[in-house]
Chains A and B, each alone.
Chain A
Amino acid sequence: MELEVKREKLLLRAGTQKFEWHIEPRYWRMPAIWIGLLIVLPIFIYIVYPQLLPTIIDANLLAAIAIPLGWMTIGTGRMNFGPQFYIGAGGYAAALASIHLGWGPAPTLLVALVAGLFFGLLMSPLSIIAGGLYYTLLTLLFPLVFLEVTFIYTDIFKGDVGLFGVLPLISVGNFTLNQFLICMLALFIMLIYLLIVDKLLRSKFAPQMSAINDDEEVAEAMGVNVKKVKIISFTIPAVMMAVLGWFYAHYYGTFAGITYLPLSFMLKILMVSMIGGRVQIYGNVIGGYFIAFLELVLIMLLGDYSPVVFPIILLILLLTLPEGLFGLYRKRRYREYLPTLHVRR
């Protein structure tokens, strides 16, 4: 039996018989293969090493946050540096409803959706009013102010201790099976988000968003309803992120703003986008898994030093991978969707 790599083909010779498998990147980019792998991975881990399930959950959630953020970035033509605000809104809304009203995950999901919609609509005019850099600055500040509010009204938000006693997301009695089911749910949400944004980027809506991304004035002159596209591209991703806040609250049974609202959490999401593939939606999945596993490996290897080494590695990767990890697979340069911040005139 002989195995060789020849002209982007994997050749397997077994006696007189020959088997070949194309390994060109376009085949590797087939969504079905990757989705299949993503589904098989938790099953495999559940059987072999279930202690890794929380990392897979974390990876899926990070990717699921970064995907709507990518949509928001493309559709508004601006970089939102405060996506965790909506996670906080959804998480706190769900946690408060669960604790004070005794509601389970299903009704609190509705509460989180309403909270996401409310804050999304409330904040969405910013994408029209504020210019590129001002928008970035303000979105950066909102979660920090929200965090302060949670410290001011400790009777409601319980400060840095957070809200305890949120009803569990899934409860089947067996802890490992519970983790597995939660993992599959996180994967399901992430894949649904991926599907929604993927379909969106292939729809009639996509050229309008990319036109806004390139030049708002030209887009308007071409007949694009800039305000409508921006409001939609801001509000729906905000709702999608609020759902993830709901997930966090019920998954951990607690929700504290100090975990999700500081810049460090935002930076993690930003790095998922940037290192994964610069707001490229499939890159977000790679980025989510990469960041979650890198963090785990560093904690295992370096212990107390991992919080120091983690950002250093991210910085090196940011500077050495101009198109992110997903860019490594690309043959041609893709359509650049990442908006510029228009800092200079």
Chain B
Amino acid sequence: MLTTIETTLIYTVLLGSLYLLVSLGFSLICGVLRIFHLGYAYLFVATIYLTWFFYHTLSLPLAVAIILMVILQALISIAIYYGIIARYLKQEEIIITGLLLIALIADQVANRFYPIQAAVYLPTTIMPGSIAVGSTNIAIQLIIAAALGIIVTALFVLFFLKTKTGLAVRAISYDLNTSKIMGIRVEQIYMFVMVLTILPVIIAMLMIAPVWAVDPTMGWGYMYTAILVSVMGGLGNIRGTIIASYIIGFVHAFASFVVAEPRLMNLAALIVVVVMLIIRPQGIAKTESLW
């Protein structure tokens, strides 16, 4: 029993920290742009398959492949911002449907060129092997990923709280019109946030790619988690996102180790989120601000 509790707690921290990386960008877009980015799923697919394309198909060194992937992802984000989000800011149904289609296109392109049989594998392992924490064996790569999740989130929080750009982002998240009157270049900040949000996802995917399975449809699963975390935390609030990540991490760990039925993870998390919504309709952080 003690072992189960110990394993559950360890995985709560590990999964919660990973979910932070997965959902931070989604939460930021919701908080700042006030856009429900249903195309968020494409980021996960693009990270893996663009890197694989540069690394395997073009036979470039891994570091170069990653750099090219980041640049391309940033360009795609800018194109999505100008092509869809900025153009249809007042017609949200078009934005949402358009973004969903982009995720579907990414999914289909990846599936066409690198189907699951292609056995895509990115050698991004920082440290191989596993370590025993108490009576639980954990892959070191997962521990590094979780640590990075905490570090990246802390850097994001510091950035938003301590820098001028961060202040501008927070100002927009509080009140868009007043921010414009105060001289904040909203367009630039929006674009900056779009590009910034890809970083946690890229880090998360590169870290977990060698440990967890990748396939062209994996983006939907991660987006699913990001939605649950963001809804539970209160859309757009980083503080809420942090708390919600660990709650969802706990629910997943509980379903996997206490109930011993990992397939119930998402169902259990959804039930928890729905109950939470009934009790607190606006999520954990009852505020629409970023922090």
Residues of chain A whose beta carbon lies under 8 Å from any beta carbon of chain B: 79, 129-131, 133-134, 136-138, 140-142, 144-145, 148-149, 151-152, 262-264, 267, 270-271, 274, 278, 304-305, 307-308, 310-312, 314-315, 318-319, 322, 338, 340-341, 343-345
Contact = CB atoms under 8 A, between A and B. Distances in A.
Interface stretch (B4-12, B45-53, B107-115): B107-115
Given A129-B278, A134-B281, A138-B274, A311 B267 contact: no
A3 B259 CA distance: 77
B160 interface: no
A341 B88 CA distance: 13
Interface in B100-140: 100-102, 104-105, 108-109, 111-112
A315 B98 contact: yes
Contacts of B209: none
Nearest to A133: B36
Nearest to A344: B34
Contacts of B87: 319
B231 A137 contact: yes
B140 to A, nearest CB: 30
Contact of B235 (A133, A148, A262, A338): A133
A165 B264 CA distance: 28
15 contacts: A129-B277, A134-B277, A137-B231, A140-B227, A148-B263, A148-B266, A148-B267, A267-B100, A305-B112, A307-B111, A310-B108, A311-B104, A315-B101, A318-B97, A343-B34
Contacts of A345: 34, 288
A318 B264 contact: no
Contacts of A305: 112
Nearest to A141: B270
A131 B231 CA distance: 11
Given A308-B108, A311-B105, A341 B93 contact: yes
B277 A136 contact: no
B98 to A, nearest CB: 6
Contacts of A137: 36, 227, 231
Pick the 8 closest A-B CB pairs, nearest first: A344-B34, A315-B101, A152-B263, A341-B92, A311-B104, A307-B108, A308-B108, A311-B105
A130 B275 CA distance: 11
Output the residue of B30, B83, B92, B227 with the most chain A CB within 10 A: B92
A263 B220 contact: yes
A236 to B, nearest CB: 22
A264 B288 CA distance: 31
A30 to B, nearest CB: 29
A312 B100 contact: no
B216 to A, nearest CB: 11
B86 interface: no
Interface residues of B, number: 45
Interface in B17-32: 30
Nearest to B278: A129
B219 to A, nearest CB: 10
Nearest to B107: A264
A344 B102 CA distance: 22
B84 interface: yes
Contacts of A130: 277, 281
B227 A318 contact: no
Contacts of A344: 34, 176
Nearest to A136: B36
A41 B228 CA distance: 46
A305 B111 CA distance: 10
A304 to B, nearest CB: 7
Contacts of B112: 304-305, 307-308
Interface string B74-102: 00000000011001100111101110111
Given A145-B267, A319-B98, 11 more contacts: A79-B93, A129-B281, A136-B36, A137-B36, A138-B277, A141-B227, A263-B220, A278-B93, A318-B98, A319-B83, A341-B92
A141 B267 contact: no
Contact of A149 (B35, B267, B273, B278): B267
Nearest to B41: A263
Contacts of B84: 319
B291 interface: no
A141 B230 CA distance: 13
B92 A264 contact: no
A149 B271 CA distance: 13
A143 to B, nearest CB: 11
Contacts of B88: 319
Contact of A145 (B35, B36, B266): B266
Contacts of B270: 141-142, 145
A145 to B, nearest CB: 5
A136 B264 CA distance: 23
B105 A343 contact: no
Nearest to B228: A141
B51 to A, nearest CB: 20
A227 B291 CA distance: 34
A344 B277 CA distance: 19
Contacts of A304: 112
Contact of B101 (A134, A138, A311): A311
